[in-house]
Amino acid sequence: MPSYTVTVATGNQWFAGTDDYVYITLVGTEGCSERTLLDKPLYNDFERGAVDSYEVKVGENLGDIMLVKIEKKKYWMLDDWYCRYITIKTPFGDYVEFPCFRWLVDDKEVVLRDGRAFLPQDDKTSLVKQHRQKELDQRRKTYRWKEWQPGFPMSIDANRHRDLPRDIQFDSEKGVDFILNYSKAIENLCVNSFMNMFQSSWSDFDDFEKIFVRIKNTISEYVMQHWKEDFMFGYQFLNGCNPVLICKCTKLPDKFPVTNEMVSVSLERDLTLEQELKAGNIYIVDYEMLEGINANTTDPHTQQYLAAPMCLLYRNVRNKILPIAIQLDQDPNENPIFLPTDGQYDWLLAKIWVRSSDFQHHQTITHLLRTHLMTEVFGIAMYRQLPAVHPAFKLLIPHIRFTIAINTKAREQLICECGIFDKANATGGGGHVQLVQKAMKTLTYRSLCFPDMIKSRGMDSTEDLPTYFYRDDGYKVWEATKSFVSDVVGIYYTNDEKVQEDEEIQAFVKDVCSFGMQDFDHCEFPKSLKTRDELIEYLTVVIFTASSQHAAVNFGQYDWCSWIPNAPSTMRKPPPKEKGKADVKMIIESLPDRGRSSWHLGAVWALSQYQENELYLGMYPDEHFIEKPVKAAMGKFRKELAEITSSIKSRNEGKKLPYYNMSPDKIPNSVAV
């Protein structure tokens, strides 16, 4: 009687093991096995981290094993089980791998195909075609679109983390509880005593040090020492938390009427402002997006304010970017243009207002919308339209890990009405919702393509800006990622026709545009893909957005935002409408009070922490792919990433302001914090 050896691997995460009964059925081209209980006498099967083997005897040879059906039935109480993979050794000594990497909950069954990836048009038998369709039908019922707020990208249909499908929940909900994590951060930062001191101002700038945690050799301490200096202000537009706004300026907008007389003392090349513009030495940052956004009114005792400033910047002869003019709102008739030649406190307060506006833009648009919410859109569409056997699913799933979970938890605790975001942010209380709605009108597919985004802002010249490390490192990681995607795509799509014939990849792309982005005309997301190059770029956008771009704008938050005056999360006095009024007292009374400062500090600390057992770019311990050519492509990818990491490390040696947010060894695979 033929016998098949079945090896079952249980996950290593908490509560992965089960005491429930587990049954298996082998489905081959020549027949099926009996439904067989996997059980060894006097042995505790399916413990966390275990790899167990069993014999399944059959009456006759089953042919090629096409499917494996696993069923879990209650023993004494339902006990979820995480199965990593199943391997079948046939009577002829062949091994067939069946990746699973799923939870079996309740009395549900899971039917697995072997680990080889197949495009839909390459499936020939009705058995596998039906399995493929049944999986997608079930997924579309499980992963449903929902509009959380009008004008937002669509999100998952779940109000709470625990309502999510088990496969996309965090291993432990406790680990992603924002309230708990903030409490831990506040305790670690020793700011407990200040948490409820709302309306209580600091006495002076040095007083902020009471909640500032100095960690030796970190950027944050350097920021604390130099935050008032113009070079530090300008540098952050290149390599700070929000290095995506600065643009080359070739013509001044009418709403920002800076004259040569105003700024000539700041120019170093014996050129007029007009000549400097033509020479490509002038840059601009415009926070127009913040115009008309309602400031936080959740605390009746503290009025909070927003501004929509513009800042003109100059590349001096030492290639440093320095501010030369600031207007604190969009209307030049009501807002003076502040200059470095003004009184020191006028100029300092103007810069603080820009930094506060940058914080609002960064948190809500650059970080929340353009990484978190966009990756969720890609993730939901992936689950709805790509079965586990599809090569694009296998490629993308490590980069979607925990993203839908973290976003759901954020909607539950962080950005919801009366959530943590309202505690300390000027855009809390609904302003952040308005800001996302407004920013959605300028979010395009091409703006997610890293090289296009850099070029569209006129920031692509390494000669002009040799210290724009976000750009330089981003180019390298983008190209390495694109090369890896190209290698994988080339294995399964031998020509452009293969892309056009792939109904599932076309449905995925269409779902992103028509449902995820709600078919907004301005978004210009493709509804179909015609060539391999288009597919390669699209998949690169998904992976890069979820990994590298998120890392670049997330993990430097404590570095740049922990010194409160450098990144105020709110302002308590309106932006000045005339010069000569500012002094230290006015600035301190404008900056966040002790309570809001402490909440802000807890937030940027918590958001800058890596997950336990973090998986960094190129690390794929869950072997969804089993083919050797793909594994070779992964090895090549890791080698390229290691070389980039090494070059970044060498460049950073000896720098007072090292840039490492795009270093592959610090880029998690997915948005999970």
Mean pLDDT, residues 650-656: 94
At 83, is the secondary structure helix, strand, or coil? strand
pLDDT of residue 195: 46
Find the helix or strand (DSSP H, E) in which 57 lies.
strand 51-57
**pLDDT beyond 80 at 164:** yes
Lowest mean pLDDT among 126-130, 328-332, 421-425, 500-504: 421-425
At 88, is the secondary structure helix, strand, or coil? strand
| DSSP conformation letters of 211-255 | GPPP-TT-HHHHHHHHTTSHHHHHHHHHHSS-TT--EE-SS--TT
Distance from the first to the final alpha carbon of the chain: 53
Tokens for 31?
């027949």
Mean pLDDT, residues 19-38: 96
| DSSP conformation letters of 158-214 | -SSGGGS-GGGS-S-GGGG-HHHHHHHHHHHTT-GGGTT-TT---SSGGGGGGGPPP
Tokens for 37?
């209980």
Residue count (the chain): 673
Mean pLDDT, residues 461-487: 97
pLDDT of residue 519: 81
pTM across the whole model: 0.95
Mean pLDDT, residues 166-190: 65
**pLDDT beyond 90 at 638:** yes
pLDDT of residue 413: 87
**pLDDT beyond 50 at 31:** yes
% of residues, the chain, pLDDT over 70 = 94
Q: How confident is the model at residue 601 (pLDDT cuts 50, 70, 90)?
A: confident
Q: Mean pLDDT: which of 179-188, 211-220, 425-434 is highest?
A: 425-434
* Span 60-74, pLDDT tens digits: 999 999 999 999 999
How many helices (H) and strands (E) are present in the chain, helices listed first? 22, 15
Mean pLDDT, residues 116-128: 96
Pairing of strands 81-89, 95-104: antiparallel
* Span 92-102, pLDDT tens digits: 999 999 999 99
d(CA 90, CA 96): 8
- Positive or negative torsion for Cα 338, 228, 590, 351: positive
Q: How confident is the model at residue 275 (pLDDT cuts 50, 70, 90)?
A: very high
Q: How confident is the model at residue 188 (pLDDT cuts 50, 70, 90)?
A: low
Lowest mean pLDDT among 23-27, 173-177, 595-599: 173-177
Tokens for 474?
């981003």
**pLDDT beyond 60 at 189:** no
388, burial (CB in 10 Å: exposed 0-12, middle 13-18, buried 19+): buried
**pLDDT beyond 80 at 209:** no
Strand-pairing partners, residue 98, are 86
**pLDDT beyond 50 at 147:** yes
Mean pLDDT across the chain: 93
59, burial (CB in 10 Å: exposed 0-12, middle 13-18, buried 19+): exposed
* Span 418-429, pLDDT tens digits: 888 888 899 999
**pLDDT beyond 80 at 174:** no
Tokens for 345?
């406190």
pLDDT of residue 210: 63
**pLDDT beyond 70 at 532:** yes
- Residue 356: alpha-carbon gap to chain centroid: 22
pLDDT of residue 625: 97
Q: How confident is the model at residue 178 (pLDDT cuts 50, 70, 90)?
A: low
CA–CA distance from 278 to each of 250, 254, 274, 456 (Å)? 6, 17, 6, 17
Mean pLDDT, residues 454-461: 97
Helices (H), 545-593: 550-554, 557-561, 584-590
- Type of residue found at 651: R
d(CA 563, CA 485): 40
At 68, is the secondary structure helix, strand, or coil? strand
Residue recorded with tokens 């975001």: 421
